[in-house]
């Protein structure tokens, strides 16, 4: 765990960081830690595709690492949304949301609500977007997560600006 928190500060660039994470992955036996490292590597590279995310979600599920499964499903939702496959993205975000509810992950739930709101904003579904943003904001407020509160507040303001309200 120390390596996961200190290493980013020491790495000169993302490829160095990926090399460090890959070396750690090669020596790690714990299945939960291995999945966490794989997720980190893909996120640093910023090149995960939907199929890889789905496979990682299945792998996480197979070892009962549900937090990682939720993260992978959310990543798949993000990728699909970026590819313009919004309906499919919404399905994956809801799968992630279900898992985060089971695990009780407040940050996970708040993040998915924010992401869902973004999709509804993109398709001009103002009512749904604001509902999801408000839910996300309430959760971040309960968690006293000032970064999350600021991010979602910005998104809400942007939504009102888009609606010219």
How would you classify residue 73: left for phi > 0, otherwise alpha for psi between -120 and 50, otherwise beta?
Answer: alpha
Structural tokens at position 152: 């979602």
Hunting for tokens 């000032």 — which residue is that?
146
Torsion of CA 119, 122, 127, 133, to 10 degrees: 50
**E strands along the chain, which residues?**
none
Nearest Cα residue to 154 out of 119, 105, 118, 123: 118
Task: Give me the numbers of helices (H) and strands (E) for the chain, helices first please.
Answer: 9, 0
pLDDT score, position 154:
96
The C-alpha R_g of the chain, in whole angstroms, comes to 17
Taking the model in full, what pTM does it have? 0.83
Torsion of CA 50, 37, 60, 51, to 10 degrees: 10
| Whether the Cβ atoms of residue 105 and residue 90 lie closer than 8 Å to each other | no
Give backbone dihedrals phi and psi of 44, rounded to 5 degrees, phi first: -65, -40
Flag whether pLDDT at 1 surpasses 90.
no
pLDDT score, position 69:
96
DSSP 1: -
Give tens-digit pLDDT for 107-154. 999 999 999 999 999 998 999 999 999 999 999 999 999 999 999 999
Give tens-digit pLDDT for 52-108. 899 999 999 999 999 999 999 999 999 999 999 999 999 999 999 999 999 999 999
C-alpha 36 chain-centroid distance: 13
* CA distances for 4 relative to 14, 43, 86, angstroms: 14, 14, 33
Give tens-digit pLDDT for 10-63. 445 778 888 888 899 899 899 999 988 988 888 877 767 899 899 999 999 999
Structural tokens at position 16: 């160095």
pLDDT score, position 2:
40
């Amino acid at each position: 765990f120390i390596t996961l928190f200190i290493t980013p500060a020491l790495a000169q660039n993302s490829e160095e960081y990926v090399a460090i994470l890959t070396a750690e992955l090669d020596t790690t036996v714990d299945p939960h830690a291995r999945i966490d490292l794989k997720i980190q590597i893909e996120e640093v590279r910023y090149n995960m595709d939907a199929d890889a995310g789905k496979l990682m979600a299945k792998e996480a599920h197979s070892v009962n690492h549900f937090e990682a499964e939720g993260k992978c499903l959310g990543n798949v939702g993000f990728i699909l949304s970026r590819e313009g496959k919004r309906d499919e993205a919404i399905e994956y975000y809801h799968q992630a949301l279900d898992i985060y509810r089971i695990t009780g992950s407040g940050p996970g739930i708040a993040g998915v609500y924010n992401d869902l709101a973004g999709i509804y904003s993109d398709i001009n579904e103002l009512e749904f977007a604001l509902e999801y943003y408000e839910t996300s904001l309430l959760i971040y407020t309960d968690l006293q997560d000032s970064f999350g509160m600021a991010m979602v507040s910005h998104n809400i303001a942007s939504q009102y600006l888009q609606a010219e309200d």
